[in-house]
Amino acid sequence: MENRKLVKDIPAEDLIVPVRAQGRLARALDSDIFYSWRTSPVTVVATFVALSLILLAVFAPLIAPYNPFNPASLNLMDGFTPPASTGAFTDNYFLMGADNQGRDVLSTIMYGSRVSLFVGILATLFAMTLGVSLGLIAGYNGGTIDAVIMRVTDIQLSFPAILIALLIFGIARGLIPANQQESMAVWVLILAIGLSNWAQFARTVRGATMVERQKDYVSAARIMGVHPILILLRHVLPNVLGPVLVIGTISLALAIIEEATLSFLGVGVPPTQPSLGTLIRIGQQFLFSGEWWILFFPAVTLIALALSVNLLGDWLRDALNPKLR
């Protein structure tokens, strides 16, 4: 007890709250989150790896040495050129070698990452939107609606996501006429991966919503007659978003791997528009014949991409969890 000081005993200058930095950027750089990012070397490296892979993919048409989808620029006779050498037939230089179709492996990886990231990001956004909406509805309403939605998520979580994606993919393929299947393949893939990943979002958001629902600010809003949808969107949603961001980041890594798995199994995107998974599928045919570069570089890229996004997710989880700080 004697250690406790009364306010009047504290020197005045200590009572002054340190002035927070001004401006958005300055405030962000001064935040706890940035501090935890700055002090974790693994996270800093992961950020740079993920960002550079994403930038390479996004700007592939501008910076890739060749356009592997432009038949005029490639020649089949360059097929199987080893890394760091010039094609036998054209003057093209292949830093990572050429694949079985004479395409520059480096360029196909840059273009392939575009497909992988596009599918991964859209599928995760789709899963997130679906899962968060259902989670909010279930958590806020409770009762029968909650029971039905949660049983569906339970059932879904008891299957591996890849099986559900294969099932949805199969059904969608059956419904789409044969001559449109290839043009629809990417969208079917997004739908299949999205539908196989929403359950985690729904479950987490539902739990968080049930906690928030009990709080006074929600009761106050309800007493004031605010429409339930507005309460959910304006009051509850911002307060449950933290865990959603964490799951979202980890789901992105999972979605990229899931896309690669489906394409590896040959049910994903067509081989003329390869994603990383398709490139790995093509490359593994040449494992025994010694043309290792066709498999090696796409595989390393996939690992780097998934690992760095995953590490970012881990960091975000720790940074947003006050108990771990």
Partner 1 sequence: MTRQILSLSAMLLSSTLIVSQASAETIRWARASDALTLDPHSQNQGVTHNFAHHVYETLMDRDAEGTLTPRLATSWAIKDGAPDTWVFTLREGVTFHDGAAFTAEDVVFSLDRARSEKSNMRQLHVDVAEVTAVDDYTVEVRMTGPSPLYPNNLTNTFMMDKDWSEANNVVEVQDYAAGEDNFAVRNTNGTGPYILQSREVDVRSVLTVNDNHWAETKPEVTEIIYLPISDAATRVAALLSGEVDVVQDVPVQDIERLSGTDGIKVETGAENRVIYFGYKFGDAPLASSNITDSNPFNHPAVREAMELAIDRDAIKAVVMRGQSFPTGIPNPPFVAGWTPELDAYPAVDLDRAKALLAEAGYPDGFSVTLDTPNNRYVNDEAISQAVVGMLGRIGINVTLASRPVAQHSPLVTANETDFYMLGWGVPTFDSAYVFNDLVHSKEGSYGAYNGGLYSNPALDAMIKSLGTETDLEARAATVAEIWEVVKADRVLLPIHNQVLAYAMNDRITLPVHPENQPLMTSVTFAD
32 or 182: whose CB is closer to partner 1? 182
C-alpha span between 215 and 231 (Å, rounded): 12
The one segment of 29-37, 181-189, 191-199, 309-317 that binds partner 1 by CB under 8 A: 181-189
Q: Minimum CB separation from partner 1 for residue 167, in Å?
A: 17
Interatomic CA distance for residues 15 and 9, integer angstroms: 10
Choices 12-20, 96-104, 129-137, 154-162 (CB under 8 A): range interacting with partner 1: 96-104
Stretch that binds partner 1, among 23-31, 65-73, 110-118, 122-130 (CB under 8 A): 65-73
* C-alpha–C-alpha distance, residues 314 and 309, integer Å: 9
Among 40, 47, 67, 75, binds partner 1 (CB under 8 A): 75
Residue 115 C-beta: closest distance to partner 1, Å: 14
Separation of alpha carbons 257 and 295, rounded Å: 16
Q: Cα–Cα distance between 218 and 235 in angstroms, integer?
A: 7
Touching partner 1, residues 253-282 (CB under 8 A): 266, 270-272
Q: Which residues contact 135 (CB under 8 A, 6 or more apart)?
A: 149, 201, 202, 203, 204, 205, 206, 208, 209, 240
| Residue recorded with tokens 């830093």 | 95
C-beta of 82: minimal distance to partner 1 in Å?
A: 14
Assess contact for 9 and 281: CB atoms under 8 A.
no
61 binds partner 1 (CB under 8 A): no
Q: Which is nearer to partner 1, 229 or 287 (CB)?
A: 287
Residue ranges in contact with partner 1 by CB under 8 A: 70-72, 74-77, 79-80, 100-102, 177-183, 266, 270-272, 284-291
